[in-house]
């Protein structure tokens, strides 16, 4: 698990669905109760058609955090991939060598 610190981070949003270039923005993380939150700039939220209360998926990658609009099909695919990875952990470890 990644250690979460209050700091400035770079957030990269990918626009795969409409083939626009990726935009990089620096955001400030803030403490919100027992959690950490980040606020998207208004222009970025408008381009991504995001509004307060929308759900996004946060995916940890080797390069950082990828935020992507919530899609039930993607969530289901990630759950299946997690189960497969657990079931075939030894075989996948051997294949990765």
Kindly list the domain boundaries of the chain, sorted by start residue. Answer: 8-70
Burial status of residue 9 (CB atoms within 10 A of its CB: 0-12, 13-18, 19 or more): middle
Block residue for tokens 């208004």: 42
Tell me the pLDDT tens digit for each residue of 44-79: 888 888 899 998 888 888 888 888 877 888 778 888
Q: Name the residue among 84, 40, 85, 49 with its Cα closest to residue 70.
A: 49
The domain made up of 8-70 has a fold known as: Pemi-like Protein 1; Chain: D (2.10.260)
Tell me the pLDDT tens digit for each residue of 2-45: 333 322 233 333 333 444 566 778 888 899 999 998 888 898 88
């Amino acid at each position: 698990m990644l250690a979460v610190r209050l700091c400035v981070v770079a957030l990269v949003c990918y626009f795969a669905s409409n083939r626009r270039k990726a935009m990089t923005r620096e955001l400030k993380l803030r403490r919100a109760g027992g959690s950490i939150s980040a606020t998207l700039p208004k222009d970025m939220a408008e381009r991504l058609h995001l509004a307060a209360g929308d759900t996004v998926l946060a995916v940890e990658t080797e390069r950082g955090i990828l935020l992507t609009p919530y899609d039930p099909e993607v969530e289901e695919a990630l759950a299946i991939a997690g189960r497969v990875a657990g079931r075939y952990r030894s075989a996948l470890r051997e294949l990765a060598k």
